[in-house]
């Protein structure tokens, strides 16, 4: 048996890269029991400032701030995980890049999280009873300052802000099966904000800029010879869940700007066994995803924004799937994407917004058995706007906007088949 003492932190924590208010790791030797209680009362602040000139190779930045964290695993013998995490302070990760002259490939990852739990099972099972509560704000911000920079090898720049996270995994081999069972209860009342802004002169290689904001997120993935039986409850009632991406370039050959805001997210994927999930999601927060992309000269330009109040994905590459889904959205949901250019070739702009969304599938080649009970109620305004402006000349301009209150898709197949 492994027992973790309660952890309580108060005050402000500041670091230059990664801040973890509390972290624990446990590995079960037989049927292990992990008891975890974490309370963070202070702010967790992480900052990176980079000022470089004429870097011929890579520019890499990793910046993270986290309130409470628990990670663990079991191999060969089962484990029970009982965890309570409470984040009362703010989590802030801020990255600023000043790039001058010619620059190689730019890889920047900025993440801010309130509560985080990760657990894995290899050739065994884990049973999880997890509660996560977030009352503080979570902010992830990254900027490339205007200095006339030339991103000669392109890059990938991201900013992710997530209030509560549970990530579970399992795998089995032969007669030893993997399993994920239990329940997760997540509650978020804080404001979730992700921002990604970039200004530069020239990018002759693929460059991607993205922002992602989520109040509550659960993901369970089990590979062949595994199964899942999970119950998830998610409630988001904060001031807002916002993802904002703004990119301004002089000349970009292949550029993409993306934003995604989802208040409650639950995703389940399984192979080689049954998948049984019970999900209850309630959102009253305002959800906003906004992307603005501008390039005076452009080759291929992509500007996309996605916003959803409650979202569930459940898929099994095996026979049996059972989904019991309840979703209630009363918050406004807005997705806005725009592109402005002078002269170029192809511009693609897309905005998608939904109050409630669920997708479920089972294997089509193995006699899939899909059982669904679905209840969706949307009482919030849902808006999607896509705007494309080419002031000079261009070859293709494709724009689309989709807004829906409730959407449900169930099929006996794998995506793409």
Q: What is the pLDDT of residue 271?
A: 87
Q: What is the pLDDT of residue 301?
A: 98
Question: 333-359 burial, b if ≥16 CB within 10 A, otherwise e?
Answer: bbbbbbbbbbebeebbbbbbbbbbbbb
Dig out the tokens for 131 from the structure: 């509660």
Q: How far is CA 79 from the centre of its chain?
A: 27
Q: What is the pLDDT of residue 30?
A: 60
Q: What is the pLDDT of residue 79?
A: 92
| Residue 322 φ/ψ region, left for φ over 0, alpha for ψ in the -120 to 50 degree band, beta for the rest | beta
Q: What is the pLDDT of residue 413?
A: 59
Q: Which of 313, 303, 314 is nearest to 350 (CA)?
A: 303
Dig out the tokens for 260 from the structure: 């995604």
- Give me the tens of pLDDT residue by residue for the chain, a chain 417 residues long: 333 334 444 443 333 333 333 333 444 346 788 999 999 999 999 999 988 888 878 899 999 999 999 998 899 889 999 999 999 999 999 999 999 999 999 999 999 999 999 999 999 999 999 999 999 999 999 999 988 899 999 999 999 999 999 999 999 988 889 999 999 999 999 999 999 999 999 999 999 999 999 999 999 999 888 999 999 999 999 899 999 999 999 999 999 999 999 999 999 999 888 999 999 999 999 999 999 999 999 999 999 999 999 999 999 988 899 999 999 999 999 999 999 999 999 999 999 999 999 999 988 777 778 999 999 999 999 999 999 999 999 999 999 999 999 999 998 855 555
- Consecutive H or E run containing 281: strand 275-283
Dig out the tokens for 383 from the structure: 């808006």
Angle at 160 between CA 386 and CA 236, to 5 degrees: 80
Whole-angstrom distance, CA of residue 107 vs CA of residue 56: 14
Whole-angstrom distance, CA of residue 75 vs CA of residue 73: 7
**pTM for this one?**
0.91
CA distances from 157 to 48, 95, 97, 212, 303 (A): 14, 10, 11, 12, 15
* Helix, strand, coil abundance in the chain, percent, nearest 5: 0, 80, 20
Helix (H, G, I), strand (E, B), or coil: what is residue 42? coil
Q: Which of 344, 131, 121 is nearest to 227 (CA)?
A: 121
CA distances from 382 to 289, 307, 316, 405 (A): 12, 9, 30, 6
Q: What is the pLDDT of residue 147?
A: 84
Dig out the tokens for 416 from the structure: 């793409």
Dig out the tokens for 257 from the structure: 């700007």
Q: How far is CA 186 from the centre of its chain?
A: 15
């Amino acid at each position: 048996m492994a027992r973790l003492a309660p952890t309580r932190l108060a005050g402000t924590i500041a670091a230059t890269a990664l801040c973890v208010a509390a972290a624990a790791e446990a590995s079960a030797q037989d049927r292990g029991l992990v008891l975890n209680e974490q309370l963070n009362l202070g702010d967790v602040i992480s900052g990176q400032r980079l000022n470089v000139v004429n870097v011929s190779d890579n520019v890499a930045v990793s910046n993270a701030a986290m309130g409470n964290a628990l990670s663990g695993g079991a191999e060969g013998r089962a484990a029970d995980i009982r965890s309570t995490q409470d984040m009362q302070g703010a989590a802030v990760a801020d990255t600023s890049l000043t790039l001058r002259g010619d620059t190689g490939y730019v890889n920047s990852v900025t993440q801010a999280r309130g509560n985080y739990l990760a657990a894995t099972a290899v050739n065994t099972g884990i049973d999880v009873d997890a509660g996560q509560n977030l009352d503080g704000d979570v902010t992830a911000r990254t900027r490339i300052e205007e200095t006339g920079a030339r991103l000669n090898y392109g890059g990938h720049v991201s900013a992710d802000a997530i209030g509560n996270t549970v990530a579970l995994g399992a795998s089995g081999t032969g007669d030893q099966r993997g399993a994920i069972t239990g329940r997760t209860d997540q509650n978020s009342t804080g404001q979730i904000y992700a921002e990604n802004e970039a200004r530069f002169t020239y990018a002759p290689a693929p460059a991607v800029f993205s922002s992602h904001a989520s109040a509550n997120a659960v993901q369970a993935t089990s590979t062949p010879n595994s199964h899942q039986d999970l119950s998830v409850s998610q409630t988001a009632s904060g001031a807002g869940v916002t993802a904002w991406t703004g990119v301004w370039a002089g000349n970009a050959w292949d550029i993409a700007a993306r934003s995604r805001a989802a208040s409650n997210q639950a995703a389940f994927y399984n192979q080689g066994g049954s998948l049984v999930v019970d999900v209850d999601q309630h959102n009253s927060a305002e959800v906003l995803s906004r992307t603005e992309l501008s390039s005076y000269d452009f080759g291929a330009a992509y500007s996309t924004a996605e916003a959803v109040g409650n979202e569930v994905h459940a898929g099994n590459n095996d026979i049996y799937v059972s989904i019991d889904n309840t979703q209630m959205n009363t918050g406004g949901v807005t997705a806005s994407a725009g592109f402005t250019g002078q002269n170029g070739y192809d511009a693609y702009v897309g905005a998608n917004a939904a109050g409630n969304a669920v997708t479920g599938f089972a294997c089509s080649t193995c006699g899939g058995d899909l059982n669904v009970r679905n209840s969706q109620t949307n009482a919030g305004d849902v808006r999607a706007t896509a705007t494309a402006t080419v002031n000079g000349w261009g070859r293709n301009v494709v724009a689309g906007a989709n807004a829906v209150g409730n959407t449900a898709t169930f099929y006996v197949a794998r995506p793409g088949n």
